[in-house]
Amino acid sequence: MFSNAKLFAQALGIEKPWKLDEVKFDPKEGQLDIYISHVEGSLFPCPDCQQELTIFDRKERTWRHLNFFQHKAYIHCQVPRVMCGKCESIKQVKVPWARSGSGFTLLFEAFIMELAVHMPVRSISELVGEHDTRLWRMIRHYVDEARAKEDYSSVEQVGIDETSSKRGHNYVSVFVDLERSKVLFATEGKDASTVKEFAQDLKEHKGEPENIKDISSDMSPAYIKGVTESLPNARITFDKFHVMKIVNEAVDQVRRMEQKDNGSLKSTRYLWLKNPRNLTDNQRENLISLSSMNLKTARAYNIKLAFQEFWEIKSEEIAEQYLKRWYFWATHSKLEPIRSAAYTIKDHWEGVLNYISTKINNGVLEAINGLIQSAKRKARGYRNIENLITIIYLTCSKLRFDLPVAFG
């Protein structure tokens, strides 16, 4: 037994009516055991109605605590139970070092939550010697508790995108507050029902679907349908990066078709796709040389460059006239991939034009998606969708957790 139990009591913040009785260290087992009890004759409040009551009986409880140097540490206590006549039940009193129902102390949980932002839970499990199922259960508790306190009443601009638990499997739709750069909602699937679920979640967090003014998304028919049905006042702006991707893919299709008969186009893919400002001097010279030839790819490239100018126009009226002229050029180019891209843009005309007035895009969401992809790489994917969604909230929702300040 340690002689300086008072030191441990101070370090643990043990105050009346609780008292530290004994500290035992077993060097063979590499384990520290801390025994806590209460001052005899103490009254304890009912956990629900707070009425001060005498003890009915006691129940042995154990909690995993932060390691004592490299050794596991546990807190043991005969926790009092009280019989409350007002509530007509027998209840275990709350202890200051742990939340009800948990097998971990608050400080241990705070430590795990901090690690979970940066490490895969599987790795944390191996580090602390606890089963990952217990850790996931604890992390979900704090994420759910923090999300329940979120207020979405001022949310007006939302970005929608998708990710997957593993490459090409089990999709998750992510809804982001574009003004505050935080994830609002994530749910399994990528169909129209995900938007309906988001609208319901808004209501559960003091928000209103009718308050959403702008949505940024790709051209997914499912998302368009979902927004139309569940967010009645929202105008859709198609994310300009997704729109440019369609045009860039058309340029690349023209190049691939033409290079079958023209070897000079081999290994030039990125010359035609990169922003001209990002080319090296050698790449720029090569591009100028190729562009001087009578190539279909060069014509497709010039049509792409002209389309890029659209995003810089400030007047809605001028932008629409410019887009009409570009559309005529593209559809009369005799380049089938370019014609197809132009028809796709025509089918989504209003959502493309909306960018001129809203100036919103999924740049914020792409940055958040980078955090999600990083977490997935560290964990080598997530077999459990619920776990992936939990990590998305933990790392990308800017939640405030009710945990000891020592771990921020």
* 361-371 per-position pLDDT tens digit: 888 888 898 89
258 shares its domain with 295: yes
Considering only CA atoms, which of 241, 295, 285 is closest in space to residue 263?
295
For position 405, what pLDDT does the model report?
A: 64
DSSP letters of 128-181?
A: HT--HHHHHHHHHHHHHHHHHT---TT--EEEEEEEEEETTEEEEEEEEETTTT
What pLDDT was estimated at residue 376? 85
Q: Residue 138: inside a domain, yes or no?
A: no
C-alpha closest to that of 325 among 348, 344, 309: 309
pLDDT of residue 90: 92
Amino acid symbol at 287: L
Residue 247 and residue 312 in one domain: yes
Verify that 201 and 261 share a domain, yes or no: no
Q: Which amino acid is at 6?
A: K
Angstrom distance (rounded) from CA 240 to CA 221:
17
Q: Can you list the positions of beta strands (E) in 18-156? A: 18-26, 31-38, 44-45, 52-53, 57-68, 71-84, 89-92
Is pLDDT at 407 greater than 50 in this prediction? no
* Confidence band, pLDDT 50/70/90 cuts, at residue 9: confident
Tell me the average pLDDT of the chain: 92
Within a domain: residue 49?
Answer: yes
Determine the residue type at 80.
Answer: P
Alpha-carbon gap, residue 249 to 305, rounded angstroms? 13
Please answer whether residues 381 and 120 qualify as being in contact, where contact means their C-beta atoms are separated by less than 8 angstroms: no
Q: Residue 26 has what DSSP assignment?
A: E
Q: Give the helix/strand (H/E) hosting 256.
A: helix 240-259
pLDDT at 2: 46
Place of tokens 């340029």: 251
- Residue 126 maps to a domain: no
Give a yes or no: residue 116 inside a domain.
no
pLDDT for 8 beyond 90:
no
Per the CB < 8 A criterion, the answer to whether 46 and 90 are in contact is: no
Using pLDDT thresholds of 50, 70 and 90, give the confidence band for residue 159. very high
Residues 339, 203 within the same domain: no
| Mean predicted confidence (pLDDT) in 221-244 | 96
Question: How many structural domains is the chain composed of?
Answer: 3
Same domain for 346 and 334, yes or no, is: yes
For strand 44-45 and strand 52-53, is the pairing parallel, antiparallel, or unpaired?
antiparallel
Model confidence band, residue 287 (pLDDT cutoffs 50, 70, 90): confident
Q: What is the pLDDT of residue 1?
A: 46
| Domain boundary residue, one of 103, 119, 137 | 103
Q: Domain range spanning residue 52?
A: 5-103
Co-location of 233 and 305 in the same domain = no
- Look at residue 397 in the predicted model and tell me its pLDDT: 96
Q: How many CB atoms lie within 10 A of CB 245?
A: 14
Same domain, 233 and 367: yes
Q: Is the pLDDT of residue 200 over 50?
A: yes
The pLDDT tens digits for 300-334 are 999 999 999 999 999 999 999 999 999 999 999 99
Q: Are residues 218 and 247 in the same domain?
A: no
Both 219 and 70 in one domain: the answer is no
Same domain, 245 and 260: yes
Asked if pLDDT for residue 167 goes beyond 80, the answer is no
pLDDT at 4: 61
CATH number at residue 224: 3.30.420.10
Q: What per-residue confidence (pLDDT) applies to 408? A: 44
pLDDT tens digit sequence for 203-216? 999 999 999 999 99
**DSSP-assigned beta bridge partners for residue 65:** 73
Q: What is the pTM of this model?
A: 0.88
> Is it the case that residue 251 has pLDDT exceeding 80?
yes
In whole angstroms, give the CA distance from residue 225 to residue 207.
21
Q: Is residue 310 part of a domain?
A: yes
State the chain's maximal CA–CA distance in angstroms. 97
Last residue of a domain, one of 103, 132, 148: 103
Residue that has been written with the tokens 């891209």 in this structure: 341
Q: Is residue 118 part of a domain?
A: no
Both structure tokens of 266: 């081999």
pLDDT tens-digit map of 111-149: 999 999 999 999 999 999 999 999 999 999 999 999 999
* 293 Cβ contact partners less than 8 Å away, ≥ 6 residues apart: 264
Residues with Cβ within 8 Å of 203's Cβ and at least 6 positions away in sequence, in order, are 209
Indicate whether 3 pLDDT > 60.
no
How many residues are present in the chain?
408
The predicted model gives 85-114 an average pLDDT of 92
Same structural domain for residues 48 and 193?
no
Percent of the chain with pLDDT over 70: 97
